[in-house]
Amino acid sequence: MSKQVRAPGREKDAMIGRLVGDYRLDALMATGGMARIYRGEDTRLGRPAAIKVLAHDDANDDDTLTKRFQREARELAKLEHPNIITIYQYGELEGLYFLAMKLIKGRDLAQEFKRLKGDGHSMGVKRVVRILMQVASALDYAHAHGVIHRDVKPSNVLLTDDDTAILTDFGLVMQSSTQTTLGTAFGTPRYIAPEQATASHKAMAQSDIYSLAVVLYELLTGEPPFTGDTPMEIALSHISDPPPPPRSKNPKIPVAVENEILKALDKEPENRHRTAVEFMTTIQNGYGIDTLDLPPETTLPVRPMIATPALNTGNTATSREAVKRPRKSTGKRNYFLGALVLVIIAGIVGFLILSNPNGAVEGSPVTLYYTESSFTFFNSTDAEINVQKLDFVRGVPATNDDYSGDRVPGDRIETQKCFRIVLQGDQTKAPAVCGTTTPKLEQLSNPLRFFWRQDSEDGTVTKSFEVRYNGNVIARCNTVARGGNDECRFNWPVTAS
């Protein structure tokens, strides 16, 4: 949905001052094809919000718009992710449909791109990767919950003052496998995937990845791959024309990055990347950007498996799950009995390792060290462990307070090594057990979402958090209050292969 700021001096909107649900509308912020966005305030909580109101005449004239609006509210309500707009309330009042959302202070990505371009500048590569990695995380999360955005474009990415990216305007969402499109709108031609331009109901997760690649292409080269005099002309180019190589417009783009962009822009969805995060990770690697080189707040988000039948090629994680096995002793033995004992011991160790794909023997301890501003996971086992199925849960599962182990770079923590989560700007040194090598690290900005802290955003005080592996609780650890510190030790579980 395109956004247009109301021109100064225009006659005051009749909705200003009106109460819809719990919200009083204070000012018109933007208008689009089927709705208007107002700034409002919760009259009970005093909380500001952005209120999306379906145009009254359109709602009367086209029942599909009302259904689409209702669908947007339902689908968004399912999605709780730090890079997806938060829904406060949905309702209908005297034929007026409205959706109250968190008010994001800042500008959208299209406005920021235009501002930089107008000043003769371009957006830095690290900033581009950082912003779009967050968008990729939001898309993968939505896809994992069966929701396709179908209108990924810069104006639908809001940027806060600290450059947190918030994906918004899910007005064209649809269930990935159970629903077809309502209405005739099918996305924005400048960013639309070929299959979506051909038939709106063919949109899939890889359609959003294509659109994300178009956004990346535009940010890196200064213009999208396809332009034209009419929306139809642009859409037809997406369907039939090969995209100009990005390096033809910006020679500074590495060859590896160009190859990945062109892969994501392939006409056939099955030839594109499996997930949005996978795509953006290849871009990050193509530029040689290390996670620690990116600005604070950058995370490597969850990488869910996408249920796309055409891409379901079976288990591809075999190589990643490979187990490090101890080398066999090649020294000569002088006594038969000694050799026999060694063979028996080797057999027992081999059995334990083969029965445990994570490498660590059952009962091997791992230790958590944490203060109010830092959290350290120390792998004190004698083997590398895979933490992909590990979750830390404070309070209700699947909320912003949780932390998933697959956010750890590579999903693995080497033996006698650490992974750390720290408050942005925290200079606390890693515990001595981590050694002299810099641990893998993620920086976060909101301590009220730290799962190891007692205090939370909603004011709830929680005395403990759960450690879960593959959905099963394997330990409960104390949380810490401000100024406090603690540690928690538990045994690494043996899991089925």
Specify the residue for token string 């979402």.
Answer: 449
Q: Give dist(CA 159, CA 322) in Å, integer.
A: 40
What contacts 186, CB < 8 A, 6 or more positions away?
A: 150, 172, 192, 196, 197, 200, 203
DSSP letter string over 106-150?
Answer: SEEHHHHHHHHHHTT----HHHHHHHHHHHHHHHHHHHHTTEE--
Q: Which of 151, 391, 401, 406 is catalytic?
A: 151
* Residue 151 known to be catalytic: yes
The answer to whether 439 and 376 are in contact (CB under 8 A) is yes
Longest pairwise C-alpha distance within the chain: 100
Q: Give dist(CA 261, CA 132) in Å, integer.
A: 13
Name the nearest CA neighbour of 68 among 192, 180, 211.
180
What's the token pair of residue 107? Answer: 């500008």
The answer to whether 55 and 36 are in contact (CB under 8 A) is yes
**CB neighbours (10 Å) of residue 246?**
25
The answer to whether 134 and 113 are in contact (CB under 8 A) is no
What contacts 76, CB < 8 A, 6 or more positions away?
A: 84, 85, 87, 99, 101, 170, 173
Count the helix, strand and coil residues of the chain and give each as a percent rounded to the nearest 5: 30, 20, 45
Angle between helices 205-221 and 255-264 (to 10 degrees): 140
Alpha-carbon distances of 438 from 292, 410, 414, 432, rounded to whole Å: 10, 16, 13, 11
Name the nearest CA neighbour of 58 among 96, 92, 101, 25.
96
Name the nearest CA neighbour of 252 among 126, 167, 125.
125
Alpha-carbon distances of 44 from 19, 25, 51, rounded to whole Å: 12, 14, 16
- DSSP at 429: P
Q: Give dist(CA 215, CA 151) in Å, integer.
A: 11
Q: Give dist(CA 18, CA 21) in Å, integer.
A: 10
**CB neighbours (10 Å) of residue 206?**
28
Q: Give dist(CA 245, CA 262) in Å, integer.
A: 7
Q: Give dist(CA 446, CA 436) in Å, integer.
A: 28
Name the nearest CA neighbour of 171 among 304, 52, 270.
52
Catalytic residues: 151
